[in-house]
Amino acid sequence: MSDFPRWKYALVALMMLFGVIYALPNAFVPVPAVQVTANRDAPPIDQSLQQKVQAALASKKIAVSNVVVEGDHMLATFTNSDVQKSGADVIKAALGDGYTVAFKLQSNVPGWLQAIGARSMPLGLDLQGGVHFLMQVDQNDAIDKQENSYADDIRSLLRQKNIRYESVTRNAVRDQGIAVILRSAADRSTAADAIGNEYTDLNVGNGANTGDRFVLNVVIKPEKLRDLSRSAITQNLGTLRNRINALGVSEPLIQQQGESRIVVELAGVQDPAEAKKLIGAVATLQYRPGIGQAGDPQAQEAARTGNIPPDANLYRMRGSNLPVLVSKQIIVTGNQLVDASSGIDQQSGTPKVDVTLNAAGARKMGDFTNANVGKPMAVVYVEQVYETKIVDGKPVRVAKVTETVINDASIASPFSKQFQTTGLGSAKEASDLALLLKGGALAAPMDIVEESVIGASLGKDNIDKGFNAVLLGLALVLLAAAIYYKLFGLVADIALFFNLVILVAVMSLIGVTLTMPGVAGIVLTLGMAIDANVLICERIREELRNGSTPHASIRAGYEKAWSTILDANVTHLIAALALTTMGTGAIKGFGVTLMIGILTSLFTSVTLTHAFTALIHGHRKLKTLSV
Amino acid sequence: MEIFNHDSNIPFLGMRKFSIAIALFLMVASIGLIATKGLNYALDFTGGVSMVIDYDQSVEIADVRATLEKGGFDHAIVQSLGGTREVAIRMQPKEDQKAVDANGKVNLDLISADVLKTLHVARADAKLKSRELVTAEVGAELKSDGTVAAVFVILGIMAYLWIRFERRFAIAAVATEIHDVLVTLGILALAQREFDMTVLASVLAVIGYSINDKVVVFDRIRELFRLARKAEPEEILNRSINNTLSRTIITSLFTAITMGALFFFGGTAVHGFAVTMLIGIVVGTLSSIFVASPILLWLGVSKKDLMPVTRENPELARRP
C-alpha cells in the first residue's frame, strides 16, 4: 500500500498547475508596437487622431496590424521590427511634436492570464539589445551645496541676533564642517546656543582658541548627511525618469544599484548619444518680474505684432497657452531653491506650494518683494527638449531649448526664505508644480562609469542560442536518465521537466529579468537537479541488492537519501546566496536563478517524483522494480 | 543499466599518499601559474573599451590586428568570437587620445567611430555590433566583491558542516574546496582563458557544485560510522567512497552533459561560463574521490566523534 499522504498528491498537482499557468505567458511572443502619448499641451488622443495615423500609414503603404486607442495612449502594432521602425517614423512625422512616439513590445498574453498576475519574464538587454549606463552619483557635490548653504544661514543668523563674528568659513576638507570664529568666549556660547536651537541638524562644538579668536566648529550630523545622500539619489532617480520619458522609450529600467550608483537600461535604443544628452540635460527655473497679466491686451498685442518691449521676453503660459510678457531680469534661479512641496492652505483651503530658498536666494527675493508688493512675479521653466524635423526626407531629432511660464502670480506681501504660491486650481496642479520646481535639476552631478550598447541582432542571436542550449541540455539529460534508470528515470524526467516549468513560473511571477547568465543558471540547474534523483535511484538499487522488497526499497530509498539531499542542497544554497549579494546585475541574476532553481528542484525531484512513484507502484504487488 | 560494479572496492584511501601529493603539487603549481602568468582579466575587471565587430564575409584575426596597428591602435587586443565573421576588440581608452577629455572622461562613441573608420579602410563590410566602456574603478570593485563572495561561501559552508557534521568534516571540506578553486583558476591561467564576470560567477558556482559531491560522501561516512559495530576509519571511508562512486560519476556526467550543450549551443556569451564549469566538475569530482576523505582520515575522524551528537540531540538520531 502507498504510504504517500493524500495532501501531498494535492500539493504536487497544485504546484504542477501553478507552474504551467504562470510559465505560460512566456510562450506568447510579444509583438512590436508603437505607442503614442500626448505631451502636456497637445490635445488628448481620440478617434480622429487614430484615423489620422491610419491614413498616414496607408499613404506610405506601411502594413499595420492594428491601431487602437487605450485610455490616454494609442497603440499601433506591426508584424516585425523593420516595419515597426518605418511605421514609427511615419507616425512621428504625421503627428508632430505634440506627441511622444515610443517603441514598445506589446505583450500578447491573453487577458485572463494577465488578470491572475501571470506575465512573461522581462528580458535583459543582452537578450534584446539596447543601451546600458551605470552612473556614479557625486555625493560630494550635494554635501558641498549643503555646507555652503548652512554657512550662509549661519552668517544671516548671527547678524540677525547681533552676535559679532570674525568669519564663517567652510573647512577646506569636505565633511569637516564650518568654522565660525568669534571675538569672545561669551559670544561663542551665545552663538553656539543660537545655532543649536535654530538648526537641529547641526552638531556644534568648541574648537581650539588662538589669542582673541574663539573658534566654534559646526558639523552636519551624520544622520542628516545620510539623509542627504539618500535624497540626492532619490531626486536624481526621479529627474532621470522624467527626462527619459521624454526620450520616448517605453518601460525603461532606472534603478539604484549599491549606495551611490544608478543603472539605466533602455531597451531598443541603439544611439546612446541622444540618451546621454538627455540624461545630462539641465532644466532650470527662473523667478522673474512679470509685466502685466497673462493674456492681457499688452501681451496679446506683442504676440500679434511681434513688437516685444526690449527689456522683456514673450512666453506662453503652460496649459492655457496664453501669451505673457516677462522681464529679462532674473531674481532667483532654481539652483537657489532648496525645497518645494505641495499642500493645502489653512486659510483659504485652496491647494498651495511651499517653496524654500537658500540664504543667498532669500536675500535677493526679500529685496525684490519688498519693493514690488502687488506686482506680478513669473516662474519661467527652461528646458531642453527634442523635436523631430524632416531634413532631406529623413526624420532628424534636434535639441531645442524651450521656455514656458509655469506660474504667474501677484506678490501679496514681502517674503524671502520661505513663501507659498496659493490659488492653484487643484491639488494635482499643486503637486505637479512642486515636482516641476524641484525635479528640474539633478540633486548631484553624475558620471557615467560603465556604458554598453548591445546591437539588436546580437540580442536576437543570444536569445535563440540560449533557448537552444536549454532545450538541448534538457533533452540530453532526459534521454540519459531514461536509459540509465528506466522507469524511475522517466519519473525523474517528468520531475525535471516540471522543474523547468516551475522555475520559469516563479521567475516570471517575481519578475526576475532574464539575462544570458540567467540562462546559464537555468541550464546548470537542470544538470544539478537530476542529482537528487540519482541519489534516490542509487539508494533504491542498493536496498534491492541488500534483499529488501520493492516497496520497502522505495520507502528506504527516499528516506535515506533525504538527509543527503538536504545537506547537499543547503550547502549549494549558501553558495547561490553569496552570488546574489554581489552588486553587479549579471551575477546577481545568475545567483537568483540558481537559488530559485535549487528550491524548485528540491520539491520536484523529491516530492513530485515520490508522488508519481507512489501512483505507479503504490497499489500493486511488485516483484521487481524498473530502476 | 549499470556502468559501475556495485561491489567495487577500489582502495582509494590506500593511495592517499600519492593522491594528496598530486593534489598538493597541483595547488602549488596553480598558485605559481596565477602568480606568474596571471589570470587573463577581461574588460569587466580591468576597465577599458570593448567592441564586437561583425563582418559580412569571413576575416582573419591577423588582418584585423594589422589594420588596427596601421590606424594607430597599437595595443588593441583582437579575439575571435567563434566563427570567422565575428571579432572582439579590446583596448584601453588612452589608445585614442582624442576621445579622452581633460578630466579623464572617455567618449565611447568617438572611440568606436574611430575604430570602425580604421577598419573600413581595409574592409568595408565591418559592422559594429556592440560596444562597451567600463571604468577601472568599477572593475576593481568587482574583483574585491568576487573575493568577498568566495570567502563568504567558504565560511558559510564551513559553519553549516560544523553544525550538521563535525569540526573535521568542515575543515576537510573547506580545504578541498580551496584546492578545487585554486586548481580551476590555475587551469584558467594556464590556458589564458578570458576571465570575465560570467567566469567569476562560474567559479563561485563550482564551489557550490563540488561541495555537493563532498557532502554526499560525508553523509555516507557518517551513516556507516554510526551503523558499524567495529569501525576501522580507513575501511569505512573507503567503503563510503565506493558506495557513492556510481552516484558521484553519474551526477558529474549529467551536469557535464548540460554544460556541453551550453558550450556548443549557447553562443559566445556563455562559453567562458561553460568551460569553467566543466573544468570545475572534473576537478571537483576527482577531489571528492581522492582528496577530501584522505584529509578527513588524516584529521583523525572516528566513530566516537560522530556518536555524541546523537546522544545530545535525540532529534538528530531519529533522522535517517
With beta carbons less than 8 A apart as the criterion, state whether B268 and B81 touch: yes
What is the rounded CA–CA span in Å between residue A596 and residue A593? Answer: 5
**In this structure, what DSSP letter does residue A44 have?**
P
Shared-domain flag, residues A82 and A149 = no
- Taken as a whole, chain A contains a residue count of 627
What would the grid cell of residue A387 be? 523635436
What is the rounded CA–CA span in Å between residue A13 and residue A605? Answer: 14
Nearest CA in chain B to A482: B1
Shared-domain flag, residues A187 and A328 = no
Tell me which chain B residues have a C-beta less than 8 angstroms from the C-beta of A448: 133
What would the grid cell of residue A599 be? 528550491
**Which residue matches cell numbers 544661514?**
A153
- Taken as a whole, chain B contains a residue count of 320
Nearest CA in chain B to A523: B258
Shared-domain flag, residues A528 and A604 = yes
- Judge: B220–A590 Cβ closer than 8 Å, yes or no: no
First to last CA, chain B: 27
With beta carbons less than 8 A apart as the criterion, state whether A571 and A457 touch: no
ipTM of the complex: 0.87
Work out the minimum CA distance from B67 to partner chain A, whole angstroms.
23
Nearest CA in chain B to A468: B265
B32 pLDDT tier (thresholds 50, 70, 90)? very high
Tell me which chain A residues have a C-beta less than 8 angstroms from the C-beta of B131: 452-453
| Domain carrying residue A96 | 31-106
Question: Under DSSP, is residue B74 helix (H, G, I), strand (E, B) or coil?
Answer: coil
Q: What confidence score (pLDDT) does residue A393 get?
A: 60
With beta carbons less than 8 A apart as the criterion, state whether A303 and A315 touch: no
Instruction: Please give the full DSSP string across A242-308, using - where no structure is assigned.
Output: HHHHHHTBSS-EEEEETTTEEEEEEET---HHHHHHHHH---EEEEEEEES-TT-HHHHHHHHH---
**In this structure, what DSSP letter does residue B97 have?**
G
Query: pLDDT under 50 in chain A at which residues?
Result: 1
B159 membership: H or E segment, kind and range: helix B136-164
Q: What confidence score (pLDDT) does residue A235 get?
A: 77
Q: What confidence score (pLDDT) does residue A41 get?
A: 62
Under CATH, to which class is B13-40+138-306 assigned? mainly alpha
Task: Name the residue among A454, A469, A579 with its Cβ closest to that of B204.
Answer: A579
Q: Where on the phi/psi map is residue B105: left (φ > 0), alpha (ψ -120 to 50), or beta?
A: beta
Nearest CA in chain B to A578: B149
Q: What confidence score (pLDDT) does residue B23 get?
A: 96
**In this structure, what DSSP letter does residue B3 have?**
S
What is the rounded CA–CA span in Å between residue A173 and residue A178? Answer: 10
Task: Name the residue among A562, A569, A578 with its Cβ closest to that of B156.
Answer: A578
Residue B74 reports pLDDT greater than 80: yes
Task: Name the residue among B212, B258, B267 with its Cβ closest to that of A465.
Answer: B267
A residues 401..460 contacting B (CB < 8 A): 447-455, 457-458
Q: Does A530 touch chain B (CB under 8 A)?
A: yes
Residues 6+ apart with CB under 8 A from B182: B27, B30, B31, B34
Work out the minimum CA distance from A181 to partner chain B, whole angstroms.
36
Residue B263's identity, in one-letter code, is F
If one counts every other C-beta atom within 10 angstroms of the C-beta of residue A39, the result is: 12
Shared-domain flag, residues A327 and A350 = yes
What would the grid cell of residue A297 be? 491686451
Tell me which chain B residues have a C-beta less than 8 angstroms from the C-beta of A485: 1
What is the rounded CA–CA span in Å between residue A377 and residue B108? Answer: 44
What is the rounded CA–CA span in Å between residue A55 and residue A58? Answer: 5
Shared-domain flag, residues A554 and A595 = yes
pLDDT over 90 percentage in chain B: 40
Q: What confidence score (pLDDT) does residue A297 get?
A: 85
What would the grid cell of residue B197 be? 564576470
Residues 6+ apart with CB under 8 A from B12: B19, B238, B241, B242, B289, B290, B293
Residue A296's identity, in one-letter code, is D
Select from B130, B239, B243 the residue whose CB has the most chain A CBs within 10 Å, as the one to mutate to test that interface. Answer: B130
Shared-domain flag, residues A190 and A220 = yes
Shared-domain flag, residues A481 and A614 = yes
Work out the minimum CA distance from A179 to partner chain B, whole angstroms.
31
What is the rounded CA–CA span in Å between residue A579 and residue A592? Answer: 8
Task: Assess if residue A253 is contained within a domain.
Answer: no
Shared-domain flag, residues A445 and A465 = no
What is the rounded CA–CA span in Å between residue A358 and residue A340? Answer: 12
Sign of the torsion formed by the C-alpha atoms of A197, A203, A205 and A211 = negative
pLDDT in tens, B262-318: 999 988 888 999 999 999 999 999 999 999 999 999 998 888 777 755 445 556 556
Going from N- to C-terminal start, the domains of chain B cover 13-40+138-306, 48-134
pLDDT in tens, A288-320: 888 878 788 888 888 888 888 888 888 888 777
Task: Assess if residue A123 is contained within a domain.
Answer: no
- Judge: B216–A568 Cβ closer than 8 Å, yes or no: yes
Task: Assess if residue A339 is contained within a domain.
Answer: yes
Residues 6+ apart with CB under 8 A from B167: none
pLDDT in tens, B204-245: 899 989 898 899 999 999 999 988 888 788 999 999 999 999
Alpha helices in A37-167 (DSSP H): 47-59, 81-95, 111-115, 125-128, 139-160
- Judge: B150–A578 Cβ closer than 8 Å, yes or no: yes
Tell me which chain A residues have a C-beta less than 8 angstroms from the C-beta of B223: 560
Residue B250 reports pLDDT greater than 50: yes
| Phi, psi torsion values for B249, nearest 5 degrees | -75, -40
Work out the minimum CA distance from A250 to partner chain B, whole angstroms.
21
- Judge: A587–B200 Cβ closer than 8 Å, yes or no: yes
With beta carbons less than 8 A apart as the criterion, state whether A507 and A120 touch: no
Q: What confidence score (pLDDT) does residue A537 get?
A: 93
Task: Assess if residue A480 is contained within a domain.
Answer: yes
Work out the minimum CA distance from B255 to partner chain A, whole angstroms.
4
CATH topology of domain B48-134: Alpha-Beta Plaits (3.30.70)
The pTM of this model reads 0.76
Tell me which chain B residues have a C-beta less than 8 angstroms from the C-beta of A531: 212, 251, 254-255
- Judge: B201–A590 Cβ closer than 8 Å, yes or no: yes
What is the rounded CA–CA span in Å between residue B196 and residue B152? Answer: 20
- Judge: A447–B257 Cβ closer than 8 Å, yes or no: no
Shared-domain flag, residues A289 and A355 = yes
Residue B172 reports pLDDT greater than 90: yes
With beta carbons less than 8 A apart as the criterion, state whether A191 and A180 touch: yes
What is the rounded CA–CA span in Å between residue B80 and residue B74? Answer: 18
Degrees to nearest 5, angle at CA A229 with A223 and A234:
125
SS (H, E, C) A76-106: EECCCHHHHHHHHHHHHHHHHHHEEEEEEEE
Sign of the torsion formed by the C-alpha atoms of A510, A512, A514 and A520 = negative
What is the rounded CA–CA span in Å between residue B56 and residue A177? Answer: 61
Could you give the number of structural domains in chain A?
4
Nearest CA in chain A to B206: A575
Tell me which chain B residues have a C-beta less than 8 angstroms from the C-beta of A553: none
Q: What confidence score (pLDDT) does residue B171 get?
A: 94
With beta carbons less than 8 A apart as the criterion, state whether A406 and A433 touch: yes
pLDDT in tens, B133-169: 888 888 888 888 888 888 888 889 999 999 989 899 9
Strands A332-333 and A284-291, by their bridges, are: antiparallel
Residues 6+ apart with CB under 8 A from A550: A544, A617, A622, A623, A624, A625
